[in-house]
Amino acid sequence: MNRLAIGLAAIVLWPFVVSAQEVQVEEAPEQILVTGKLPGPAMWKVSNGDNALWIFATLSPIPKDMIWESDRVEGVIAKADEYLEPPGADIKVSPLVYLNPINYIRGYRLAKRLQRNPDDKPLQAVMPPELYQRFEALKAQYFPGEKDVEQFRPIAAGQLLVQQVQLKNGLAQNSSILKKINRLVAKKRGLKTTTTQVEVKLEGGYGTLAERVETMINSLPAESEMACVESQIQRMETELEAMRSRANSWAQGWVDDFRTVIFRGDEADACTSVMLASSESQLITEVIKQSQQKWLVAADKALASNKTTFAVLTIGEMFRDNGLLAQLQDKGYLVRQP
């Protein structure tokens, strides 16, 4: 799928790229981010007799300049009979949409327009004064030259804020880790790959999809959108050191440090809640529910038939009371934590 299709689909299904927020119980001391070759966490082992499911837990953000030492994961993949992909959405768009080069230009213009406030109102005019002042203070500190953000709608401005503040604090998304895992999986000949994603077909041509995206953006409740932005600003104001501490702990494999972290479910995340109040609420809710159930069914089958299975989940799923690991344990499987 090309960038146009991904862009349209990502806007419709935006919550699936938003990981649940984590809250540190105690304020972390100032952290110097680690760099160089680092192992990441050891894997969780779920056993059914002699059969084992090994789960590698991801975190985002992680230290920007770390080089992942993947020997442990490579060793499991080398022995694995099957790889379980993380739950999520497998988005399908008609080839007539993404093979038409004109749609690249149309999609870019649509994204630029929807990124801005209706009637081109400035950000200051649509945000509460106190919240705007806090946003401006962070902007002045981390990305003072970004003038276009003053025309962004709040939810887009909040996303840019998080990206810029994390980047300037040495933090990056975990895409490099996931890409390396995909390369390792692709190299293993004969390895069965099982998708646990739910296929979502976005029907219609470009015009239909563009209208759907615009309807969703316009359906976001203003109060909920502002709550999302406020939560993003608060995290950048108060939780940076905790984020850096978690990033260091993950990179160095210090799993014990996560046992004092409270992992909230998606429903407690203000930025997921705003999307769940949109015109795509039913689709989003169903895909989240179905993809998690699909992963559990696939894990059951793998534990019944494979000597070794490899899987990837977020670290929140490892520690959340009702996470996927807890649900496997409730089924009677033996879980060994690193």
Domain membership of residue 149 (yes or no) is no
CA atoms within 13 A on the CB side of 215: 9
pLDDT of residue 136: 97
Question: What pLDDT was estimated at residue 23?
Answer: 42
126 within domain boundaries: no
- Which runs of E-coded beta strand occur in 177-276? 192-194, 197-202, 261-263
How many domains is the chain partitioned into structurally? 1
| pLDDT at residue 317, rounded to an integer | 92
Q: What is the pLDDT of residue 241?
A: 92
Predicted pLDDT at 20:
36
Q: What are the b/e assignments for 125-136, b being 16+ CB within 10 Å?
A: ebbeeeebebbe
In a domain, 59, yes or no: yes
pTM of the model: 0.88
Q: Is residue 287 part of a domain?
A: yes
Distance in angstroms (rounded) separating the CA atoms of residues 253 and 263: 18
CA atoms within 13 A on the CB side of 119: 3
pLDDT on residue 15: 37
* Structural domain span for residue 193: 3-106+171-217+239-336
Identify the bridge partners of residue 54 per DSSP, sorted by sequence position.
45, 310
DSSP class per residue in 261-275? EEE--GGG-HHHHHH
Q: What is the pLDDT along the chain (338 residues), one digit of tens a residue?
A: 334 444 444 544 443 333 334 444 344 455 678 888 999 999 999 999 999 999 999 999 999 999 999 999 999 999 999 999 999 888 788 888 778 888 888 888 888 888 898 888 999 999 999 999 999 999 999 999 998 999 999 999 998 999 999 999 999 989 899 999 999 999 998 999 999 988 888 888 889 988 888 898 889 899 999 999 999 999 999 999 999 999 999 999 999 999 888 776 555 678 888 888 888 888 888 888 899 999 999 999 999 999 999 999 999 999 988 899 999 999 999 999 99
DSSP-based three-state secondary structure for 149: helix
What pLDDT is attached to residue 265?
Answer: 57
DSSP letter at 14 equals: G
Q: Which residue has the tokens 């190299």?
A: 187
Is residue 124 in a domain? no
User: Dihedral (C-alpha) 320, 245, 248, 322: value to the nearest 10 degrees?
Assistant: 0
The phi, psi pair for 212, rounded to 5°, reads: -65, -45
199: in domain: yes
Q: Is residue 188 part of a domain?
A: yes
Q: Which secondary-structure segment (H or E) carries 221?
A: none
Give the position of tokens 């600003």.
Answer: 233
| Residue 53 falls inside a structural domain | yes
Return the ∠ at Cα 40 (arms to 36 and 45), rounded to 5°: 160
